[in-house]
């Protein structure tokens, strides 16, 4: 009985039908056009979320940022879990179904499903082969970077650890000692305050204290004044030749799977052909290309879209300011802790210039296109 059931599921998969089990994210089962069994089609909302998440990754967003976006009101919830995890998001965006082919588990490994002719069984792809292959290459690159240690903020201090719900915490620095300001909700009558935590140990001679609402409003106004009307650009990454390598790997995996089920001369020949194809693809030049492209949004729209995402606002500030420095008092009002905009010094980074300094682009940075400005 079990063998007959397995054989029935195998025949169904090989015929391009959905035989049951966990439905890949981004898809839903529907009746086949011929009325025989079920097939997978894209789930409109889920597929849209997959495409948007992939586009954000390809444009330089971190896996953590994309996961937070999916968990926000703008994203799309997971089917059963309370929230997305970075691991799950990574598995989906590098998965076979999202790239257009079904997979099965053989000896603990994922392998493409093949039909009776040894061809990979396809489903409507959410991502293009190049997009899927590029994301996989970026996953490998990210794994290498994680081994090199944690990142640093623009002030040179280590980032990581517990995240703050205030977007200037871990961004603004103390003018007196150069350390990052901290945030406390209990200060300032429960209304919140940024302060230099090194006053207690005597390490900071003139530690600043400033109401969070004052500093937040000032920095926001200055950001929008300086950059609000600028167009948003993103850097999109593409790997030339990566799609062919991925397709060749699929062919080898499928051929091995077919050979394990039936060791026929045709199966051996298919494996040899697939291996030759993979060797040719691997030996072909493969280069990571990066293009800075306009999204159609303004930086003001980008800023407004991050109102509920403090980490995204921190990224925007770090990308566009070399430093945000807070003094204890205004230059001509020594000793006074009264609010004065002159207590804040915001040092902007030079904008990225299309065709000249694209190599220094950082996600969220303001970009200037000389040709567009000349045309205007």
Q: Which domains can be identified in the chain, with CATH numbers? A: 2-149+241-286 (3.90.1750.20), 173-235+294-375 (no CATH)
Structural contact between residues 158 and 150, judged by C-beta atoms closer than 8 angstroms? yes
Residue pLDDT, tens place only, 354-363: 666 656 556 6
Q: Which of 125-129, 187-191, 213-217 has the lowest mean pLDDT?
A: 187-191
Q: What band does 287 get if pLDDT is binned at 50, 70 and 90? A: low
Q: In the chain, which residue ranges form alpha helices assigned H by DSSP? A: 2-14, 44-58, 63-71, 86-93, 96-99, 129-146, 212-227, 242-261, 265-283, 299-305, 310-320, 370-375
Q: Kindly state the average pLDDT of the residues 92-96.
A: 88
Give the SS3 label for residue 205: coil
Quote the pTM value.
Answer: 0.58
Structural contact between residues 32 and 39, judged by C-beta atoms closer than 8 angstroms? yes
Q: Kindly state the average pLDDT of the residues 121-127.
A: 86
Residue pLDDT, tens place only, 207-240: 898 999 999 999 999 999 999 998 888 777 776 6
Query: What pLDDT is stored for residue 351 in this prediction?
Result: 76
Structural contact between residues 131 and 50, judged by C-beta atoms closer than 8 angstroms? no
Residue 339: half-sphere exposure toward Cβ, Cα within 13 Å? 12
**Phi and psi based region of residue 62 (left: phi greater than 0; alpha: psi -120 to 50; beta: remaining):** beta
d(CA 73, CA 149): 32
Q: What band does 370 get if pLDDT is binned at 50, 70 and 90? A: low
Q: What band does 244 get if pLDDT is binned at 50, 70 and 90? A: confident
SS (H, E, C) 247-304: HHHHHHHHHHHHHHHCCCHHHHHHHHHHHHHHHHHHHCCCCEEEEEEEEEEEHHHHHH
**Dihedral through CA 177, CA 178, CA 180, CA 183, nearest 10?**
40
Residue pLDDT, tens place only, 253-273: 777 777 777 788 888 888 888
Give the SS3 label for residue 98: helix
d(CA 52, CA 31): 27
Structural contact between residues 363 and 336, judged by C-beta atoms closer than 8 angstroms? no
């Amino acid at each position: 009985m079990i063998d007959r059931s397995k054989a029935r599921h195998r025949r169904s998969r090989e015929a391009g039908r959905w035989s049951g089990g966990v439905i890949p994210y981004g898809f839903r089962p529907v009746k086949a056009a011929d009325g025989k069994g079920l097939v997978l089609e894209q789930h409109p909302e889920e597929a849209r979320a997959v495409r948007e998440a992939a586009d954000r990754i390809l444009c330089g967003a971190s896996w953590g940022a994309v996961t937070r976006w999916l968990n926000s009101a703008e994203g799309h919830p997971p089917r059963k879990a309370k929230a997305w995890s970075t691991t799950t998001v990574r598995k989906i965006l590098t998965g076979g179904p999202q790239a257009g082919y079904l997979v099965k588990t053989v000896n603990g490994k994922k392998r493409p499903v093949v039909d009776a002719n040894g061809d990979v069984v396809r489903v409507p792809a959410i991502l293009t082969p190049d997009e899927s292959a590029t994301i996989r290459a970026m996953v490998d690159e990210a794994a290498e970077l994680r081994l090199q240690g944690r990142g640093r903020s623009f002030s040179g201090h280590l980032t990581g650890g517990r995240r703050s719900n205030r977007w200037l915490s871990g961004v603004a620095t103390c003018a007196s000692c150069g350390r990052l300001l901290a945030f406390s909700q209990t200060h300032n009558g429960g209304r919140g305050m940024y302060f230099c935590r090194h006053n207690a140990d005597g390490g900071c001679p003139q530690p600043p204290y400033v109401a969070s609402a004052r500093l937040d409003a000032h920095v926001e106004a200055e950001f929008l004044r300086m950059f609000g009307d600028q167009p948003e650009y993103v850097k999109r990454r593409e790997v030339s030749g990566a799609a062919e390598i991925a397709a060749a790997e699929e062919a080898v995996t499928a051929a091995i799977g077919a050979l394990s089920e039936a060791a026929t001369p045709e199966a051996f020949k298919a494996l040899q052909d697939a291996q030759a194809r993979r060797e040719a693809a691997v030996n072909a030049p493969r280069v990571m290309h990066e293009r800075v492209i306009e999204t159609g949004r303004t930086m003001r729209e980008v800023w407004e879209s991050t109102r509920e995402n403090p980490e995204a606002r921190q990224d925007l500030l770090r990308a566009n300011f070399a430093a945000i420095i807070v003094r204890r008092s205004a230059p001509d009002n020594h000793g006074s802790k009264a609010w004065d905009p002159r207590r804040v010094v915001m040092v902007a980074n030079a904008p990225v210039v299309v065709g000249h300094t694209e190599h220094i682009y950082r996600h969220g940075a303001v970009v200037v296109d000389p040709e567009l400005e000349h045309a205007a």
